[in-house]
């Protein structure tokens, strides 16, 4: 009797072990996508970039498309909650140590301003004045804002990314 190897569907005579896994949905955007949606800044690494940019462009507004809008819509509530908490980006589920930022209560992230329709902010209007005028404070945010105002760090005025 002669043994004949049976060709596998992969074209190889070697057996393969395959494990089938259900595709898992992303519970949170990548570190680059989250940073870009929140800060509006692109930071290209040497390799492994998976954000919205093309590897050279630096103005994130040039990359606004359906994918970015869909990501913002899908993760808006979680990202907005994180932003107004004032926590540092190192506390996010997908984080990179070189992408370091934080928001603050009474402010809004980049995507909120650029991917949603809102009344314009006045020239000399602060973020908290704007939220009061337009009645857009989130539940519990004003309390966080008042507490943060009492203990604000002296050089912490870069948290407000309101476009001017």
Domain ranges of the chain: 31-150
Q: What confidence score (pLDDT) does residue 154 get?
A: 57
Task: Identify the CA nearest to 69 among candidates 111, 29, 27.
Answer: 111
Residue 35 is predicted with a pLDDT of 96
Q: What is the mean pLDDT of the chain?
A: 83
141 pLDDT above the threshold of 50: yes
Contact 99, 92 (CB under 8 A): no
């070189």: which residue's tokens? Answer: 98
For range 105-134, the mean pLDDT: 95
Locus of tokens 């005025």? 157
Q: 27-50, pLDDT tens digit by residue?
A: 678 999 999 999 999 999 988 999
Neighbouring CB atoms inside 10 A of 151's CB total 6
CA Rg, the chain, in Å?
22
DSSP code for 84: H
pLDDT on residue 73: 96
pLDDT tens digits for 71-111?
Answer: 999 999 999 999 999 999 999 988 899 999 999 999 999 99
113's tokens: 């301003």
Most confident of 12-16, 85-89, 90-94, 157-161: 85-89
Is the pLDDT at 11 greater than 60? The verdict is no
Beta carbons of 141 and 135 less than 8 angstroms apart:
no
Query: Which stretches within the chain are classed as H helix?
Result: 31-39, 66-85, 110-114, 127-133, 141-150
């Amino acid at each position: 009797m002669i043994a004949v190897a049976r060709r596998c569907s992969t074209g190889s005579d070697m057996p393969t072990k395959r494990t089938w896994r259900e595709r898992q949905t992303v519970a949170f955007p990548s570190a680059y996508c989250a940073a870009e949606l929140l800060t509006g800044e692109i930071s290209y690494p040497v390799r492994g970039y998976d954000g919205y940019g093309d590897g050279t462009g630096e103005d994130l507004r040039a990359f606004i498309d359906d994918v970015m809008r869909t990501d913002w819509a899908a993760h808006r509530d979680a990202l907005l909650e994180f932003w107004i908490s004032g926590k540092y980006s190192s506390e996010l589920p997908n984080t990179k140590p070189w992408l370091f930022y934080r928001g603050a209560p009474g402010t809004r992230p980049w995507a909120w301003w650029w991917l949603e329709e809102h009344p314009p902010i006045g020239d000399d209007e602060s973020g908290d004045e704007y939220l009061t005028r337009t009645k857009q404070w989130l539940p519990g945010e004003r309390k966080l804002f008042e507490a943060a105002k009492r203990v604000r760090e002296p050089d912490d005025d870069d948290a407000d990314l309101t476009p001017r």
